[in-house]
Structure 1
Amino acid sequence: MSFCDAIWEEVTPLRRAILDHPFLAELADGTLPSESFQHYIMQDSLYLAEYARVLAIAAARAPSGAGRLEFSDGAKVAVQVEESLHQSYFAQFGVTIGMADASEATPVCLGYTSYLASLAATRSYEELIAGILPCFWVYWEVGCDIKPRAASPNPYASWIDTYAAPAFGEATDRVRALVDEAAADASATTRTAMAQAFRMATRYEWMFWDSAYKRAGWPI
């Protein structure tokens, strides 16, 4: 069994908790309060800005041309998605320029992006890309899970379509292949660290949606 298949199976309970989260259940049936989605997209915009930087670092550290191309393309796409949030979702869900400019990362958003940045700055390339992968793979699974059962019409249809799109699945597969390639050449100690990075990032994925559902901010 490949590294990715093994760690994906290991985190099955966490993946199930993500798919069962009320944020995604209500998003699928179109009943998610717009205020919760508004919170989510503002935080996602802040997340993507930092995720793009992490992807760019992964591209710079990649030992192969395939890795450099994939992660540099991913960084570009993350920036483009961030910009599209401002142009489409922000307008659709009533996020003004002033609101966007005044927003700051919540504890969960800051924790997630800071964790990825710490991998990029202080850990191995292998750990870094293992921590990057859940943002691709979890969203692909969520998109594929929600798409067949989503209500129609649905105010969140375009979001669902983005992450259920075959092109997004293909990008996920390419990143998985890079992670498996890195794991195959890594020591047992490095593979253990890779698994921990994957688990930690997957936990943050659940926490990100939970924080948005509760519209959580700083407690003080």
Structure 2
Amino acid sequence: MFSDELKLAAAPIMAEIHKHPFVQGITNGHVDKAALIFYVQQDYQYLSEFIKIYANAITKLTDRNEMTFFANSIDFILNSEIHPHHVFCDVAGVQYEDLQHATPAPKAYLYESHMYRAADTGSLMNILAAFLPCPWTYGEIARQQVAQNANTDDNPFKSWIDFYAGTENDADESLSKRVFSWIDRLASEATSEQRTQAKQFFLKSCELEWQFWEQAFYQQDWHFKSIISQPEAQQS
């Protein structure tokens, strides 16, 4: 199956995500406040763009069941995925509303651009392949953390772990399994070139998931942010 090929190719990246110090910090219950704040600031902006990508995908569909899938995904981001953000904010001791106006950092900007590029190809398989690593890697992270008994009551990130473990359980209808199956159906009718392109979008998104943890852990922002963020009138 094409999905097995994707998972196998991404296995080395997934292994590095599991070992990332930010992810390990969630497992161990200790992440620097600055890293948590930077993560929430960037993820809020990224997920806002994610919603637009889902909306774009709906325009390429004719099947109402498929439309419903993306509509439900939009609802999940808007109304459910704020919970893990609140967990990080509570641990960091900050208000969520104060973190919603950041400028996307370079790697977040790259990830957003990558997603839009997938959408611009007009290929539903490319869109699915590009966005799937987000829920898939988070589900795998939480699954491993649960297996390591990291979601204990004394871990301040217990609710974060339980949230993502709950979205990616072993049920046949879990999000990642549904999308991997969807990609398999599309791949069965695709050319070798189309499958190769979709695989590239998938693997690059996996890399960008690792980069997202990296930028938050080290707060990697624009080096010339003071110049870039100036209003147009001041730059002219």
Q: What is the CA-CA distance between 1:158 and the residue it aligns to? A: 1.1
Paired positions, count = 218
d(CA) in 2 for partners of 1:75, 1:130: 17
d(CA) in 1 for partners of 2:42, 2:80: 13
1:217 is matched with which residue?
Answer: 221
Identity %, equivalent residues:
27
Asked if 2 retains the 8 angstrom alpha-carbon contact of 1:52 and 1:75, the reply is yes
Amino acid at match of 1:127: N
Question: Compared with structure 1, are the counterparts of its residues 7 and 103 closer, same or farther at alpha carbon in structure 2 (3 Å cutoff)?
Answer: same
d(CA) in 2 for partners of 1:147, 1:67: 31
Amino acid at match of 1:207: Q
Amino acid at match of 1:160: I
2:141 is matched with which residue?
Answer: 142
2:66 is matched with which residue?
Answer: 67
1:186 is matched with which residue?
Answer: 190
d(CA) in 2 for partners of 1:83, 1:201: 22
1:57 is matched with which residue?
Answer: 56
Asked if 2 retains the 8 angstrom alpha-carbon contact of 1:162 and 1:168, the reply is no
Asked if 1 retains the 8 angstrom alpha-carbon contact of 2:28 and 2:155, the reply is yes
SS at match of 1:113: helix
Which segment is superposed worse, 192-201 or 109-118? 109-118
d(CA) in 2 for partners of 1:74, 1:160: 20
Give the RMSD, CA atoms, in angstroms: 2.0
1:175 is matched with which residue?
Answer: 179
Asked if 1 retains the 8 angstrom alpha-carbon contact of 2:87 and 2:157, the reply is no
Amino acid at match of 1:157: K
1:162 is matched with which residue?
Answer: 163
d(CA) in 2 for partners of 1:107, 1:71: 27
Gaps of 5+ in 2: 225-236
d(CA) in 1 for partners of 2:44, 2:80: 8
Deviations 1:79-133 (A, max 9, x none): 2235446766435533336742442111111110111012112342211111111
1:130 is matched with which residue?
Answer: 129
Bigger Rg, which one: 2
Asked if 1 retains the 8 angstrom alpha-carbon contact of 2:36 and 2:88, the reply is no
SS at match of 1:61: coil
Amino acid at match of 2:168: F
d(CA) in 2 for partners of 1:20, 1:181: 32
Deviations 1:143-180 (A, max 9, x none): 10112321631111111111111x43412211111111
d(CA) in 1 for partners of 2:194, 2:20: 32
Amino acid at match of 2:143: C
Question: Compared with structure 1, are the counterparts of its residues 63 and 202 closer, same or farther at alpha carbon in structure 2 (3 Å cutoff)?
Answer: farther
2:38 is matched with which residue?
Answer: 39
Amino acid at match of 2:155: N
Question: Compared with structure 1, are the counterparts of its residues 129 and 97 closer, same or farther at alpha carbon in structure 2 (3 Å cutoff)?
Answer: closer
Question: Compared with structure 1, are the counterparts of its residues 189 and 213 closer, same or farther at alpha carbon in structure 2 (3 Å cutoff)?
Answer: same
Which segment is superposed worse, 30-39 or 15-24? 30-39
d(CA) in 2 for partners of 1:62, 1:206: 30
Which segment is superposed worse, 169-178 or 76-85? 76-85
Asked if 2 retains the 8 angstrom alpha-carbon contact of 1:133 and 1:175, the reply is yes
